[in-house]
Amino acid sequence: MNLDTARSAIIPALGRMNALYHQPVFDEWVMVKLATEQGAILAYSGPRAENYQRAFKDDVGPLRAELEQQHLSVGDFAFVRDATGTRFDACIRLGPVAYLFCNHTAKSMAEIRQDPRWLEAQKPFASLSEVFRNDPLV
Protein backbone atom coordinates (compact mmCIF):
# COMPACT_ATOMS: atom_id res chain seq x y z
CA MET A 1 0.00 0.00 0.00
CA ASN A 2 1.20 3.52 -0.69
CA LEU A 3 0.82 6.62 1.47
CA ASP A 4 -2.26 8.00 -0.31
CA THR A 5 -4.08 4.68 -0.04
CA ALA A 6 -3.15 4.44 3.64
CA ARG A 7 -4.52 7.89 4.33
CA SER A 8 -7.67 7.00 2.38
CA ALA A 9 -8.17 3.99 4.69
CA ILE A 10 -7.39 5.81 7.95
CA ILE A 11 -9.61 8.88 7.57
CA PRO A 12 -12.95 7.06 7.05
CA ALA A 13 -12.15 4.42 9.71
CA LEU A 14 -11.54 7.09 12.33
CA GLY A 15 -14.67 8.88 11.11
CA ARG A 16 -16.71 5.71 11.65
CA MET A 17 -15.29 5.44 15.16
CA ASN A 18 -16.40 9.00 15.91
CA ALA A 19 -19.87 8.39 14.48
CA LEU A 20 -20.35 5.25 16.58
CA TYR A 21 -19.01 6.97 19.69
CA HIS A 22 -21.09 10.14 19.03
CA GLN A 23 -17.99 12.28 19.59
CA PRO A 24 -14.32 12.13 18.67
CA VAL A 25 -12.52 9.06 19.96
CA PHE A 26 -9.20 10.46 18.76
CA ASP A 27 -8.87 14.12 17.85
CA GLU A 28 -5.40 13.74 16.39
CA TRP A 29 -3.43 11.14 14.49
CA VAL A 30 -0.02 10.95 12.94
CA MET A 31 1.53 8.46 10.52
CA VAL A 32 5.23 8.06 11.09
CA LYS A 33 8.18 6.17 9.72
CA LEU A 34 10.36 4.96 12.58
CA ALA A 35 13.73 3.86 11.30
CA THR A 36 17.03 3.66 13.14
CA GLU A 37 18.78 5.94 10.68
CA GLN A 38 16.02 8.57 10.42
CA GLY A 39 12.34 8.84 11.24
CA ALA A 40 9.82 10.92 9.35
CA ILE A 41 6.32 12.29 9.77
CA LEU A 42 4.22 11.00 6.88
CA ALA A 43 0.90 12.68 7.70
CA TYR A 44 -0.77 14.53 10.57
CA SER A 45 -4.31 15.56 11.42
CA GLY A 46 -5.28 17.30 14.62
CA PRO A 47 -5.45 20.47 16.66
CA ARG A 48 -1.69 20.87 17.18
CA ALA A 49 -0.54 21.16 13.57
CA GLU A 50 1.79 24.04 14.43
CA ASN A 51 3.62 22.41 17.33
CA TYR A 52 3.00 18.66 17.67
CA GLN A 53 6.45 17.81 16.25
CA ARG A 54 8.26 19.57 19.10
CA ALA A 55 6.54 17.37 21.70
CA PHE A 56 6.35 14.17 19.65
CA LYS A 57 9.21 12.33 21.37
CA ASP A 58 7.70 12.98 24.81
CA ASP A 59 4.11 12.37 23.65
CA VAL A 60 4.94 8.93 22.27
CA GLY A 61 6.82 7.88 25.44
CA PRO A 62 4.12 5.80 27.20
CA LEU A 63 3.17 4.10 23.94
CA ARG A 64 6.82 3.42 23.10
CA ALA A 65 7.20 1.58 26.41
CA GLU A 66 4.15 -0.53 25.54
CA LEU A 67 5.50 -1.26 22.05
CA GLU A 68 8.86 -2.37 23.41
CA GLN A 69 7.06 -5.00 25.51
CA GLN A 70 4.71 -6.22 22.77
CA HIS A 71 6.88 -6.25 19.61
CA LEU A 72 3.95 -5.62 17.26
CA SER A 73 3.69 -7.29 13.88
CA VAL A 74 2.24 -5.41 10.92
CA GLY A 75 -1.47 -4.95 11.55
CA ASP A 76 -1.20 -5.32 15.33
CA PHE A 77 -2.39 -2.52 17.58
CA ALA A 78 -1.83 -1.36 21.14
CA PHE A 79 -3.49 0.99 23.61
CA VAL A 80 -2.11 2.83 26.61
CA ARG A 81 -4.79 3.09 29.25
CA ASP A 82 -3.41 5.99 31.25
CA ALA A 83 -1.77 8.31 28.70
CA THR A 84 -3.10 11.78 29.46
CA GLY A 85 -3.15 15.08 27.63
CA THR A 86 -1.13 15.12 24.46
CA ARG A 87 0.44 11.71 25.03
CA PHE A 88 -0.60 9.20 22.39
CA ASP A 89 -3.24 6.64 23.40
CA ALA A 90 -3.12 4.04 20.63
CA CYS A 91 -1.22 2.85 17.60
CA ILE A 92 -1.37 0.44 14.69
CA ARG A 93 1.73 -0.91 13.01
CA LEU A 94 1.10 -0.05 9.37
CA GLY A 95 4.16 -1.58 7.78
CA PRO A 96 7.74 -2.67 8.45
CA VAL A 97 8.74 0.78 9.77
CA ALA A 98 5.43 2.71 9.67
CA TYR A 99 2.99 3.36 12.50
CA LEU A 100 -0.25 5.24 13.07
CA PHE A 101 -0.37 6.98 16.46
CA CYS A 102 -3.75 8.22 17.70
CA ASN A 103 -4.62 10.49 20.58
CA HIS A 104 -7.42 12.33 22.28
CA THR A 105 -5.76 15.46 23.56
CA ALA A 106 -8.24 15.94 26.43
CA LYS A 107 -9.10 12.35 27.49
CA SER A 108 -7.24 9.16 28.35
CA MET A 109 -8.24 5.73 27.06
CA ALA A 110 -9.50 4.95 30.56
CA GLU A 111 -11.95 7.84 30.23
CA ILE A 112 -12.92 6.93 26.66
CA ARG A 113 -13.58 3.32 27.66
CA GLN A 114 -16.02 4.40 30.38
CA ASP A 115 -18.63 5.16 27.71
CA PRO A 116 -20.43 1.95 26.65
CA ARG A 117 -20.36 3.17 23.03
CA TRP A 118 -16.63 2.41 23.06
CA LEU A 119 -17.39 -1.27 22.46
CA GLU A 120 -18.84 -0.53 19.02
CA ALA A 121 -16.47 2.34 18.26
CA GLN A 122 -13.40 0.15 18.56
CA LYS A 123 -14.56 -2.18 15.76
CA PRO A 124 -13.52 0.16 12.92
CA PHE A 125 -10.08 0.48 14.56
CA ALA A 126 -9.70 -3.31 14.61
CA SER A 127 -10.90 -3.49 11.00
CA LEU A 128 -8.37 -0.83 10.02
CA SER A 129 -5.61 -2.90 11.55
CA GLU A 130 -6.66 -5.83 9.33
CA VAL A 131 -6.43 -3.63 6.25
CA PHE A 132 -2.76 -3.02 7.00
CA ARG A 133 -2.11 -6.62 8.01
CA ASN A 134 -3.32 -7.66 4.53
CA ASP A 135 -1.67 -4.78 2.63
CA PRO A 136 1.16 -3.11 4.59
CA LEU A 137 2.30 0.45 4.00
CA VAL A 138 5.63 0.38 2.19
CATH code assigned to 3-134: 3.30.450
Strand order across the beta sheet in which 77-79 lies:
40-45, 28-33, 98-103, 90-93, 77-79
By the 8 A CB rule, do 128 and 48 touch? no
Determine the average pLDDT of the residues in 33-39. Answer: 76
What is the number of alpha carbons within 13 Å of residue 23 lying toward its C-beta? 9
Indicate the average pLDDT of the chain. 92
Helix ranges (H only) for 1-138 are 3-21, 52-59, 61-70, 109-113, 118-134
| Cα-trace Rg, the chain | 14
The overall pTM is greater than 0.95:
no
pLDDT digits (tens, 9 = 90+) for 89-127: 999 999 999 999 999 999 989 999 999 999 999 999 999
Sign of the dihedral defined by the CA atoms of residues 34, 3, 29, 66, in that order? negative
Sign of the dihedral defined by the CA atoms of residues 55, 59, 64, 67, in that order? negative
Q: Return the pLDDT at 83.
A: 84
Domain boundaries, the chain: 3-134
Task: Answer yes or no: is pLDDT of 137 > 80.
Answer: yes
Query: Hey, how many other C-beta atoms are within 10 angstroms of the C-beta on 31?
Result: 22
What is the spatial distance between Cα 84 and Cα 107, in angstroms, rounded to a whole number? 6
What is the spatial distance between Cα 54 and Cα 33, in angstroms, rounded to a whole number? 16
Q: Return the pLDDT at 62.
A: 85
